[in-house]
């Protein structure tokens, strides 16, 4: 396993669009196409592909919302691993890599995400990394988790 993160651009846009989650997970995350369209409209979002060597295996989108809280909040807004690569350890390792990138890019001690309370597998992975529920809900009613770095 040799994981790397690459910005989504014209060269890898179409391969990112092919990423899909497993059946039953579709309601937990927007499609990559929806994410990329949102990133075009809101320049705060940073969409990236997760690669194992040269093969795309996942997608993430993150950004800093300066108008939230006293100093703004950094959000890991989207994170997914392609269905055929799930269950092989790519999720946890990719998440660590993304979080390291976010920390280095924004130099913030807290990273936030929102999650559906019935997304048990993702919650377990996030908790294993150190995320904890903070008692807040986002505007869509999803529970908010926070990682203190």
H helix runs in 79-137, sequence order: 90-106, 120-129
Active-site residue, selected from the candidate residues 51, 62, 112, 126: 126
Question: Which of 85, 83, 96, 104 has the alpha carbon at shortest distance from 125?
Answer: 96
User: Residue 4, SS3?
Assistant: strand
Query: Would you call 126 a catalytic residue per the annotation?
Result: yes
Buried b (16+ CB within 10 A) or exposed e, 29-40: bbbbeebbeebe
- Measure the CA–CA gap between 26 and 28, rounded to whole angstroms: 5
What are the residue numbers of the active site? 126
């Amino acid at each position: 396993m040799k994981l790397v993160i690459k910005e989504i651009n014209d060269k890898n846009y179409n391969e990112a669009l092919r990423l899909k989650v497993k059946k039953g997970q579709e309601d937990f995350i927007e499609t990559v196409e929806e994410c990329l369209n949102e990133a075009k409209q809101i320049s705060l979002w940073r969409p990236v592909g997760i690669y194992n060597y040269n093969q795309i295996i996942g997608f993430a989108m993150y950004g800093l919302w300066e108008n939230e809280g006293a100093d703004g909040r950094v959000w890991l807004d989207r994170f997914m691993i392609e269905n055929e690569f799930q269950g092989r350890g790519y999720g946890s390792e990719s998440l660590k890599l993304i979080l390291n990138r976010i920390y280095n890019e924004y130099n913030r001690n807290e990273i936030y995400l929102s999650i559906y309370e019935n997304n048990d597998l993702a919650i377990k992975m996030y908790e294993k990394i150190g995320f904890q529920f903070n008692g807040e809900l986002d505007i869509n009613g999803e529970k908010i988790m926070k990682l203190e770095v």
